[in-house]
Amino acid sequence: MVMPLFDTASTMDASSAVPLGVSVPRVDSGGTRHHAGGRANVACFAPSVTSLDIVYCPPGGQWRSRTLPNVVRGVHHGIVEDLPYGSRYGFRPSADRRPLPPYAPAVLGDDAGNPPLLLDPYGRGVEQKDGVLATVRTAPDFDWGADERPALPWRNTILYEAHVRGQSKLHPDVPEELRGTYAGMAHPAVLEHLTSLGVTAVQLLPVHFHLDEPHLQDLGLTNYWGYNTAAFFALHPGYATRAAREAGPQAVQDEFKDMVKAMHAAGLEVILDVVYNHTAEGTQDGPVLNFRGLGEQAYYRMDSHGKYVDTTGCGNTLNFGEPHVVQMVVDSLRYWVDEFHVDGFRFDLAVTLCRNAANEFDPNHPFLTTIAADPVLSGVKLIAEPWDIGDGGWQTGRFPSRWVDWNDHFRDAVRTFWLADRAAMDAGGDGGTMARLADSLSGSAGLFQASGRSRLASVNFVTAHDGFTMNDLVSFDRKHNEDNGEENRDGHGDNRSYNHGVEGPTENGLILAKRAQSRRNLMATLMVSLGVPMITAGDELARTQQGNNNAYCQDSPMTWLDWTLTPEAHEMLRSTKRFIRLRKEFLAAQPHDFPVRDEQSYLYWFDQHGQPMSAERWNDPHHRVLQLLLGDDGGALAGLVVVNGGATDVQITLPDLGRATPSLFELRLTTSPLHEQRQGIRVASGETDLAEANSISIYRT
């Protein structure tokens, strides 16, 4: 029996305006709940559309259409009898209705003027097949077994920012068919690397379904990072294995869930980098994918002249002054926690999500208060990138309780002290003072105090996906982004990097040694500082991007992790493991609420003579030696961090703790080349030791 291509019935049915998207109907007319089969409740917020059709194709069937008969406050809804799991579908205004041919490509848009399908904003899967970009209905079935979230406290968290494709694409121990996929990310060889390294949470670059910008397509490039989301409830199928892609979105979901399950079994949390600030529809003359065709003025922020207000730099900005937009994003977040068991989120350009109707940042924005009150979302990790490019866009330190912020103060201060200052001194000038570095070591407490948060609100990082790798920070003075096709105009110009005398690759042994020590200084500073450290994938292997500091469009060996253990990579991996191990040992010896309870946690600052730092020394650029004693009155040990940012070795006097019996400090680590010879020496408080030039030394009592 051939089904009619159009159902023009407009009779009211028993459908519901909630939940949005495609769901199992709550009840039928007889009060019986339906859990299976093809009967579905369809609801879509499309305030700009008078009448909305759902155009759909059941598995093995033909494309057909039905008008959603009910409209409630901009939500079009209706019951569709033959929309089983696996069906492809999309929406289009009834005014655009054309006869549907029995083949799919015309539904996407063709020379005859047939309009494209609009993706369901709540669609769980997206698939491009037979020339059609369509939403796919998927089932929530998955055997999670005994899966449990690690639920690690922030104090014990070490973040590892990684790209699903880049992490395993070149890994020699991962089978070729799994490389660069969700399954590859979960392969035992990759998990062993992460767990032996000591990180506790993997923060994945965007995995939501995304599209490539037109200008990249023209250049033959792709949006490798994925910050161009087109569907907030759907996975990007390009990161799945070929077998899963061919099987469809349901198999892609299962592969991702298997990855989460495996990571949890290894003790690793999974955090998603999410992009809710803009969409892949781009500027007002960009492609019409979903939101623009359903209700542009509601979904996007616009000025009084009908022009887009862009606080993202990507052509459009989602309108978080609209309750339906807030609801959609919160529903999306809850879906990823409930259905995929993820442990938290990092919010790209998070300030945009907190702009009110007047386009001003509001720390009490409904988006923030809704999450705080939500029983699901209030218990996961929430990380803000606390800026955007709009007016008042820099808001580091102003997000509310339960949130942590990427701390750009830390990044800039640490790079300046170890690299920019070093370059200035090597050129015969002066470096800076110790004050900004000390603030970073102590967790930037003052920056977060006004929001009622502690040092643990600071996500400390030296590098991220955006910018130089750690190896490139010590190897390049300038960005080299020519491969991006923008004549090197893109990317940051203020990198605070230092090539140590030669731009880029070199075989000069002296320069290579200096670069290696600078890498160790950067990583050690990251690990000894209070707050939450974040490592960028590959920095532990001295990864390079050949000086490209904006490699968002480079899906190539330039951005994939190179697992070849060169001498430089082996040394950096060993050092990073050592730094992480020392951090964990120190924290394990402190009370569970260290360093939050300021009345018992202590940070004491001393100069090279073991005397309390004076205002004069804090502000003297020629004084580049600092000793930090930290711990807790209830802790089992104290730690002493000695920083020598100068160009010469310095004799230091270890601080006297004022005890009847002198304390004994054991040197656990130094970033200088003398680590192997000096590790384990013991020095009593009040006695002298050597702080090598341009190094960090870490002692414990």
Q: What residues act catalytically? A: 348, 385
Name 448's Cβ contacts closer than 8 Å, sequence gap at least 6.
397, 405, 454, 455, 457, 458
Q: Which amino acid, 672?
A: S
Question: Measuring CA to CA, which residue among 100, 134, 270, 267 is closest to residue 209?
Answer: 134
State how far the alpha carbon of 249 is from the alpha carbons of 225, 234, 583, in Å.
21, 8, 41
Among positive and negative, which fits the CA dihedral 393, 396, 400, 405? positive
Question: Measuring CA to CA, which residue among 625, 638, 644, 645 is closest to residue 685?
Answer: 638
Question: What's CA 603's distance to the chain center, in Å?
Answer: 31
- Cα–Cα dist 1/432, whole Å: 81
Residue 452: both structure tokens together: 């009622």
Q: Which amino acid, 164?
A: V
Phi/psi of residue 271, nearest 5 degrees: -120, 135
Using the structure block, give the residue that is written with the tokens 């359903």.
294
- Cα–Cα dist 361/359, whole Å: 7
Among positive and negative, which fits the CA dihedral 313, 537, 198, 512? negative
Residue 642: both structure tokens together: 């000695």
Name 420's Cβ contacts closer than 8 Å, sequence gap at least 6.
496, 497, 498
Residue 323: both structure tokens together: 């309750």
Cis peptide before 19 (omega within 30 of 0): yes
- Cα–Cα dist 45/346, whole Å: 26
- Cα–Cα dist 148/216, whole Å: 40
- Cα–Cα dist 95/194, whole Å: 54
CB atoms within 10 A of CB 287: 16
449 contacts 517 by C-beta, under 8 angstroms:
no
- Cα–Cα dist 638/656, whole Å: 13
Among positive and negative, which fits the CA dihedral 225, 227, 233, 236? negative
Residue 157: both structure tokens together: 């968290």
Question: Measuring CA to CA, which residue among 390, 396, 398, 393 is closest to residue 408?
Answer: 396
- Cα–Cα dist 626/529, whole Å: 14
Q: Which amino acid, 452?
A: G
Identify the DSSP state of 202: E
Count Cβ neighbours within 10 Å for each residue of 498-514 and write b for 16 or more, e otherwise.
Answer: bbbeeeeeeeeeebbeb
- Cα–Cα dist 159/201, whole Å: 5
Using the structure block, give the residue that is written with the tokens 């079935």.
141
- Cα–Cα dist 7/4, whole Å: 7
Given the DSSP bridges, would you call strands 269-274 and 6-7 parallel, antiparallel or unpaired? unpaired
Helix, strand, coil tally for the chain in percent (to 5): 30, 20, 50
494 contacts 558 by C-beta, under 8 angstroms:
no
517 contacts 500 by C-beta, under 8 angstroms:
no
- Cα–Cα dist 188/171, whole Å: 11
Given the DSSP bridges, would you call strands 64-67 and 6-7 parallel, antiparallel or unpaired? parallel
